[in-house]
Structure 1
């Protein structure tokens, strides 16, 4: 392939909205890794997510390592991180944070980076059921000294964390099963179904998290999940069923909805 100009033309013809930016990033990736630029462009045109070809995704100003088969962090999830950061600041003490269903570990990484910049102490751990995601999360979180456990939801967490988690991030899948077919092909055909499909109403995995969360949260601790605007009231009801006080936070800037469940302080 001749160069970036030709790449731009090929990407634009394939419908890439940000063809110039993608061409630059693919050219840089080819130069850095020795990969064939034509091959990268061909795979991009065929629908492979750009982040898989680059080996990283940008999230809150960070380069988060990702790999094929791992959920690509969405920009709207920055609101979940911002909300968690606000709760950590309000505690005004050391916080224990767990990133459950962590995928690449992007949420935990971003929150830890934010808190470190503000000199707010926190301890981070993460977990995911998918071994590919766990390997990816370890690449991102091991430099922070954060352990990443493999297993189903709370099952792999060390028992000493029970009753001690101040902030529990759980970006559970919340796309209703019937809507998966309508998702963009990049997500539908390349990302793991387990990271997307939330069951008939999109809240199946969340319900399991809510059921177990109270015993793992510290008194006054918070569970945070992302949902659609329509799902949020149902999620608050589910939290109440399991002894957590729920509330909804929304961001027009990020087009995001976060549901927060808080364990009573006493």
Structure 2
């Protein structure tokens, strides 16, 4: 019995390639949502145990210009902190490594979200480990009551705060889009307050100066009137 192999045409190959690319089980996913709450109720105790053994002034870095995003901010800070936990485990002793792993277990859920590479605009500043652990605890506290609700897919790219030179144009653009007046920066608001005050002071100064001049020209009772400067000049004899 002879079995004939199926004939592979270019069209068949293209259809197979498209099927592989768009198959849900084979293509990558950009979802970042949680059907169960991955944050334990004892994370503060776990973090406190690590803090008791660590040098409080051990230097680490944190992002100083992450955008203050209500929905994504906590997730962004936790993914940066989780990188530090992984890094510290590679240089810690056995006992310290266990404590670091316990804290890392509390925040490792961020690895299930396919974050984009860190943006080049991100600025890292040095701080100590105690501040980092406090921030981890605060972000977990913020995220715990609402982590199972929303889809965090729009949080996969960390955003930096705009530079000072672009803050005002950005606020004006958003205000135009929303139909609301754009907020003024503090320096411009202060200038608008100072200009009327300065004009008022100039007007008062001018009034006072005018009053002083008028007092000089009006004679007091019993005083002779001031003579015209032209009349006070001596007469010169005519030229012969």
The TM-score with structure 1 as length reference comes to: 0.20
Q: With CA pairs under 8 Å and 6+ residues apart, which has the higher RCO, 1 or 2?
A: 2
Question: More helix by proportion, 1 or 2?
Answer: 2
- Which of 1 and 2 has greater Rg? 2
Question: More strand by proportion, 1 or 2?
Answer: 1
The TM-score with structure 2 as length reference comes to: 0.22
